[in-house]
Amino acid sequence: MVAFIGLGLIIFVHELGHFVAGKLMGLKIREFMFGLPGPRIFSIKWGETEYGATYIPFGGYVRFAGTESELQMEEDEEDRNTPPERKYDSLPKWKKSLVMVAGPAMNLLFPILLVALLLAVQGQQFFQPVIGEVVKGSAAQEVGIKIGDRIVSANGDDIETWTDLTDHLRESPGEQVRLTIERGDETLTLTPKLGVKDGRGFLGVSPSEDEEPIVKREPVHLALYKGTLLTYDMTKFLVVTVYHVITQDSGQLTESSRGPVGIIDETARIAKQDFWQFVGVLAFLSINLGVLNLLPIPPLDGGRLAILGVEGIIRRPINKKLVFGINAAGMALLLTLMFYLIVMDVGRIFTRTVGNGGG
Binned at pLDDT 50, 70 and 90, residue 87 comes out as very high
Query: Quick one: pLDDT band at residue 358, thresholds 50, 70, 90?
Result: very low
Whether pTM > 0.75 for this model: the answer is: no
In this prediction, residue 271 carries a pLDDT of: 59
Q: Are residues 200 and 173 in contact, defined by beta-carbon separation less than 8 angstroms?
A: yes
State the DSSP string of 69-109.
Answer: -SS--S--HHHHTS-GGGSGGGS-HHHHHHHHHHHHHHHHH
Say if residues 95 and 209 touch (Cβ distance below 8 Å): no
Structure confidence at residue 80 (pLDDT): 85
Q: Residue 201, Cβ neighbours under 10 Å: how many?
A: 21
Q: What number is the average pLDDT over the span 317-331?
A: 83
Residue 249: per-residue pLDDT: 54
pLDDT digits (tens, 9 = 90+) for 143-169: 999 999 999 999 999 999 999 999 999
Q: Is 356's pLDDT higher than 70? A: no
Tell me whether strands 186-190 and 195-197 are parallel, antiparallel or unpaired: unpaired
Give the span between the Cα atoms of 105 and 16, in whole angstroms: 11
Nearest to 13 by CA among 114, 112, 118, 104: 104
pLDDT (mean) for 299-320: 89
Mean pLDDT of 294-312: 90
